[in-house]
Amino acid sequence: MTRPGGLATLADHKRKRIDELIARTTEPGGVSLIRDAGRRLLRNPTAIVGAVLILLFLIIAIFAPLVAPHDPVQRFPELTKDLTVDSIPGATAGHPLGSDPLGRDFASRMIYGARQTLFVGVLATLIGLLLGVLLGALAGAIGGWVDAVVMRLTDVMLALPSLLLAITLVALARQSTQWTVIVAVAVVNVPIFARLLRGSMLAQRESDHVLAARALGVKRRDIVLRHMLPNSLTAVIVQATLTFAVAILDAAALSFLGLGDPDINRAEWGLMLGVDGVRYFEVRPELAYFPALAIIFVALGFTLLGESIREALDPKNRR
């Protein structure tokens, strides 16, 4: 039976999922397990679909300047001359998706949006990952009171619904900027990565390769950095893939609540959907449809790939 107590239960649940991931990725037989999982992954259509979606997203983001017909912040006065309260100009020659309320080429903003969305998602994931990995590695490698403090801290954070925590964090800043959003979304993920790393470290502490290194007189710092950390990477990568999807969804939600990036020039899908998309929904719903679809596809891609990797690493599926 799970440990009693309400808030503890949520934390318990999240902990259990993290532990499962650790158990799957620190299975003895390291490399061959990963190779085996990789083979299963290539045969899994779900994983392929996820990977293709992500690849498309990356290609658009990287080659945005080559693909986009216009500059995403350039305003075309001729596009807004017919602008009224209940009409925003649709497609015209040279502007396949029409313009946004400020007369900027919507297609170009969508294409450049891939870049900004990638930027927000990657940074939020990366910051959460780095802080979490650092805390978790310290807790796992040092143990004692450091471990106790870090773990109690993660307990409290895991016990709150993540979006609520992010909202509270943004509320702490005096003014919202792009960075407030990134940091708030990132911090929510710190406890997950911290737990993951600590568990992985503890699992390895008594493993043969660490014992061997210790017996050979390798310094503790080197054991942690060269022998233990690399072995924890698989679990971290799986979690990061899933985190990315949540991060862009959370960022969009914050924009919608008016807690997002205030820069009107920024073309980011969450921002486009959460601000102009819903404001002009009745006038021109395409302003919401396109960024929403883009977000759904990208979130879907990362979720599909992440879950497929997790599944492929499950020893139960080994043949």
Partner 1 sequence: MVRIISRRLVQLVVTLLALMTLVFFWLRSLPGGPVDALLGERATPQTRELLTRALGYDQPIWVQYGRFLKNVVTGNFGNSIRTGEPVTDVISRSFPATVELALAAIIIAIGLGVPLGYLAARHRGRLLDNATIIVTLIGISIPIFFLGYLLKDWLTQGVHIFPPSGRISTGLDNTDVTGFFVLDGLLTRELDASADALWHLVLPALTLATIPLAIIIRITRASVLDVLDEDYIRTADAKGLRNPTIRKRHVLRNALLPVVTIIGLQTGALLAGAVLTEKVYNWGGLGTLITDSISGSRDYPVLQALILLAAAVFVVVNLVVDLSYAVIDPRVRVR
Q: Would you tell me which residues interact with partner 1 (CB under 8 A)?
A: 1-2, 4-10, 13, 156, 159-164, 167-168, 170-174, 245, 249, 252-253, 256-259, 270, 273-274, 277-278, 281-282, 285, 288, 292, 295-296, 299-300, 303-304
Cβ-based nearer residue to partner 1, 141 or 295: 295
Start-to-end CA distance of the chain, whole Å, equals 32
**Nearest approach, Cβ of residue 292 and partner 1 (Å):** 5
Which residue number, 59 or 164, has a Cβ lying nearer to partner 1?
164
CB of 159 to partner 1, least distance (A): 8
CA distance 19 to 25: 10
User: In the complex with partner 1, which residue's Cβ is closer, 159 or 240?
Assistant: 159
* Strand-pair partners of 95: 92
The amino acid at residue 287 is L
Q: How far is the CB of 302 from partner 1 (least distance, A)?
A: 9
Which residues 6+ apart lie within 8 Å of 43 measured at CB?
A: none
Q: How far is the CB of 141 from partner 1 (least distance, A)?
A: 27
36-44 own/partner pairs: CB under 8 Å, 24+ apart? 36/318, 37/309, 37/312, 37/313, 38/312, 40/312, 40/317, 41/308, 41/309, 41/312, 44/308, 44/311, 44/312
- Closer Cβ to partner 1, 97 or 133, answer by number: 97
* Cα–Cα distance measured from residue 106 to residue 229, given in angstroms and rounded to the nearest whole number: 44
Query: CB of 252: closest distance to partner 1 in angstroms?
Result: 5
Longest distance between any two alpha carbons in the chain, whole Å: 78
Tell the smallest beta-carbon distance from residue 242 to partner 1 (Å). 11
Residue 229 or 294 with smaller CB distance to partner 1: 294
Distance CA 195, CA 139 (A): 9
Minimum distance of partner 1 from residue 201's CB (angstroms): 26
Please give the Cα distance from 122 to 133 (Å, whole number).
16
Q: Tell me whether residue 5 or residue 69 sits nearer to partner 1 (CB atom).
A: 5
Nearer to partner 1, 208 or 282 (CB): 282
Neighbours of 214 (CB within 10 A): 14
Query: Whole-number minimum distance, CB 116 to partner 1, in Å?
Result: 16
Cα(147)–Cα(141) distance, integer angstroms: 9
| CA neighbor of 88 nearest in space, from 290, 291, 276, 294 | 276
Q: In the complex with partner 1, which residue's Cβ is closer, 19 or 30?
A: 19
Tokens of 44: 């899994």
